[in-house]
Homo-oligomer: A and B are copies of this chain.
Amino acid sequence: MPPAGPDRRPTLADVAARAGVSTALVSIVMRDVPGASVATRERVRRAADELGYRPDARARLLRSSRSRLLGVVFGVQHAFHGDLLAGLYDAAEQAGYELALSAVTPGRGEQRAVDSLLRDRCEALVLLGPSSPTAHLSGLATRLPVVVVARSVRSAAVDVVRTADDEGMHLALDHLVGLGHCDVVHVDGGRAPGAAERRRGYREAVRRHGLTPRVLPGGLTEDDGAAAARTLLAGPLPGAVTVFNDRCALGLLDVLRRAGRTVPGDVSVVGYDDSRIARLSSVDLTSVAQDVERLTALAVRRALDRLDGVPVEQRELVVPPRLVVRSTTAPPRWSGRSRGDGRAGR
């Protein structure tokens, strides 16, 4: 269907020649800005269609000082980043911006991902759970607005949009304590983004309820959870466990169940992220949900505010999480409240 030569892409000039007008006018028509009569618009449009003309993003951006391009660095491994990407696309589109994606892979570090976006003349950068040192991020932020999502960064130069992870742990503990639990262990995320906040939130919440905290080393994969479960099985089982994220919780669940323990019968388990896996009917994991839509909308908004020089009041935007109660939490066996359906709050 597309016509003729695979030799050269048609340009504005080709369309102009065919329609018998100037390139400037074609540009006007293609951008849908005022300055052309209806009749000409029609004619130009037809010529463009016949030639299969597509505007050249490079040339366009080269000319106009604003690139209306938002760079996003994401990790290819993290399912959660996929969700964030979807939200970012939506938010960027509403603001009239395009996204330029750059992935971090096992063979391609954050530095390289960022470099490629800088070459692309992005106006601002959105980094999903970056692992670069703070100093490096600060340096980057002197060049262009940098918004970090899902990790907290102690630097006055970069903006942060994140979930109130401590609050999420409070929700989890309120829920568990409300069910009657009084020994809740936390399986940690180590150095992963958000892990420190969640650990801190757990400690606070446990103390607030007058209980004693116990933190077990974990990580962000199922294997880390499985290892933690084995540690747990070595001693007397706690009544409940909060886990750094859903993946880790999954590994933990699996090992516990294979060891003959029932969930939530013997142990209650709370995950984090409310990932697709958690929502599956076969898993049905109680989990702390991050508000993806809000996180992404705020991240884009903040980047644009910085670009427009809008004064911002707080560098860090914290979005409240939400507890999604499913079937891995229930009153403890010994509590005499075992008729509870596991979905009741306090």
**Chain A residues with a Cβ under 8 A of chain B:** 1-2, 6, 9, 52, 54-59, 61-62, 67, 76-77, 79, 82-83, 85-86, 89-90, 93, 98, 101-103, 105-108, 115-116, 118-121, 139, 142-144, 221-223, 225-226, 251, 254-255, 257-258, 276-277, 280-283
- A sample of 10 cross-chain residue pairs with beta-carbon separation below 8 angstroms, ordered by A number, consists of A54-B118, A57-B120, A62-B62, A76-B83, A85-B105, A86-B103, A86-B105, A90-B105, A222-B277, A254-B283
Residues of B within 8 A of A2 (CB): 139, 142-143
Most buried by B among A59, A106, A120: A120
Query: Given the known A-B contacts A89-B108, A107-B90, A119-B54, are A1 and B282 also in contact in the complex, defined by CB atoms under 8 Å?
Result: no
Q: Give, as a whole number of angstroms, the nearest-CB distance from A57 to chain B.
A: 4
Q: Which of B76, B86, B116, B142 contacts A98 (CB 8 A)?
A: B116
A225-B85 Cα distance, complex, nearest whole Å = 27
Q: Which residue of B lies closest to A113 (CB)?
A: B89
Q: Which of B67, B77, B116, B251 contacts A82 (CB 8 A)?
A: B77
Q: Is the CB of A121 within 8 A of B56?
A: yes
A98-B226 Cα distance, complex, nearest whole Å = 39
Q: Which residue of B lies closest to A69 (CB)?
A: B58
Q: Is the CB of B89 within 8 A of A107?
A: yes
Q: Give, as a whole number of angstroms, the nearest-CB distance from A89 to chain B.
A: 5
Q: Is the CB of A101 within 8 A of B98?
A: no
Q: Which of B55, B76, B142, B225 contacts A6 (CB 8 A)?
A: B142
Most buried by B among A58, A85, A276: A58
The 7 closest A-B CB pairs, nearest first, are: A86-B105, A101-B101, A57-B119, A76-B82, A226-B282, A254-B282, A222-B280
A255-B77 Cα distance, complex, nearest whole Å = 27
A85-B76 Cα distance, complex, nearest whole Å = 7
